[in-house]
Amino acid sequence: MKILVAAKDKSVRSSLALLIEYEGKKDSIRDAGDQISFLEILRNFYIELVIIDWEFFFNENFEMMILLKKAYPEIAFIVTGIKKENKKNAANANMDAFYMWSDSPEELIKIINSFRKNGNPS
């Protein structure tokens, strides 16, 4: 699976990539720490799944998530966050899944695997 991990914090990006690689699948993982590189990767590479931190777009999160899903309906988006309200907001922005940081890492793997099995639910 072609995966893009987007988070401002390098350690978060590295941890997510390591978790995905640990699963042992033959995924191609790219990462972006800023909005420009994120958009360049989306524009220039085939991506099937984006894992993006809710805070990635600072104060424009909700609006940007809506625009991303409209611009890239073929891509599955998993939003990560720390607040329960982020989950509701992600659902309202038509994101495909939400992962709460307080959940176990296995839960994120389950979510990713659901996209492997079922494809994009959109």
pLDDT in tens, 20-77: 998 777 899 999 999 999 999 999 999 999 999 999 998 788 899 999 999 999 999 9
- The share of the chain scoring above pLDDT 90, in percent, equals 81
Q: Is the pLDDT of residue 106 over 50?
A: yes
* pLDDT at residue 121, as a whole number: 46
Q: How confident is the model at residue 113 (pLDDT cuts 50, 70, 90)?
A: very high
- Contact indicator for 61, 54 with CB cutoff of 8 Å: yes
User: Nearest CA to 50 among 115, 117, 118, 101?
Assistant: 115
Which residue has tokens 């994101």? 95
pLDDT > 60? residue 15: yes
pLDDT at 117: 74
Q: What is the mean pLDDT of the chain?
A: 91
Q: For 2-117, which CATH class?
A: alpha beta
Predicted TM-score of the model (pTM): 0.91
Contact 121, 95 (CB under 8 A): no
* Whether 16 contacts 61, CB under 8 Å: no
